[in-house]
Amino acid sequence: MNEQTMKIADTTANPGALGLAGFSLATLMLSFHNMGLFGESLTVVAMAIFVGGLVQLLAGMFAWKKGNTFETVAFIGFGVFWLSFAYISIAPFGAVAASNFSLGLYLLLWGIFGLGLFFGTLKMSNKALIIVFALLVLTFFVTAAAHFVAVAAIALAAGICAFFLGAAAFHTAMKIVLDGI
């Protein structure tokens, strides 16, 4: 019996570039705010909803279609982070906004989620992605600490960490795009 095997090549784009680009732009906008470059602004919320949230949700769904569990969990997870962050920013319950302590816990939990994903990156050969997730965990933990102790210097440090995180994610996204050309 003559058996033939047909292999179908996946020619779809890498959704990682899209997800990292959305994450990087939203993170950079928030870092500028956290460093005190501007006050409360709807631009941060808009970036969180549409660029951080929606773009990462889409990238996560595209990664799911490609069978990439890591990217699916990372992008959908952090897409939901950005959407929930935007909700916390604009829709407090009645007159009571989220407390610094509850925001600290919220950020700490996301840092723990990121730490789990960081360990996953250690199995990958992409050093840039390892750096992105290391900076992500650092940023979440420092930002959580800033909310727990309400010290301006720690909040500034969190903004600086977020800037380096956003820049590293942007670099990684552009590397994926440009290497694919």
Instruction: Answer with the residue of higher pLDDT: 69 or 1.
Output: 69
Given a cut of 70, whether residue 95 has pLDDT beyond it is: no
Structural domain count, the chain: 1
CB atoms within 10 A of CB 63: 23
Residue 31 falls inside a structural domain:
yes
For residues 27 and 165, is the Cβ–Cβ distance under 8 A?
yes
Given a cut of 80, whether residue 148 has pLDDT beyond it is: yes
Residue 5 falls inside a structural domain:
no
Residue 2 falls inside a structural domain:
no
Q: Please provide residue 35's backbone torsions phi and psi, each rounded to the nearest 5 degrees.
A: -85, 0
Domain, as residue range, for 40 = 16-90+98-176
Residue 156 falls inside a structural domain:
yes
Between the alpha carbon of residue 79 and those of residues 24, 72, 170, the distances in Å are 12, 10, 16
Given a cut of 70, whether residue 96 has pLDDT beyond it is: no
Given a cut of 70, whether residue 30 has pLDDT beyond it is: yes
Given a cut of 70, whether residue 93 has pLDDT beyond it is: no
Residue 6 falls inside a structural domain:
no
CB atoms within 10 A of CB 71: 22
pTM for the full model? 0.90
pLDDT digits (tens, 9 = 90+) for 55-87: 999 999 999 999 999 999 999 999 999 999 999
**Treating both helix axes as pointing N-terminal to C-terminal, what angle do 55-66 and 15-34 enclose, rounded to 10 degrees?**
150
Q: What is the pLDDT of residue 133?
A: 97
**pLDDT range class, residue 143, cuts 50, 70, 90:** very high
Residue 158 falls inside a structural domain:
yes
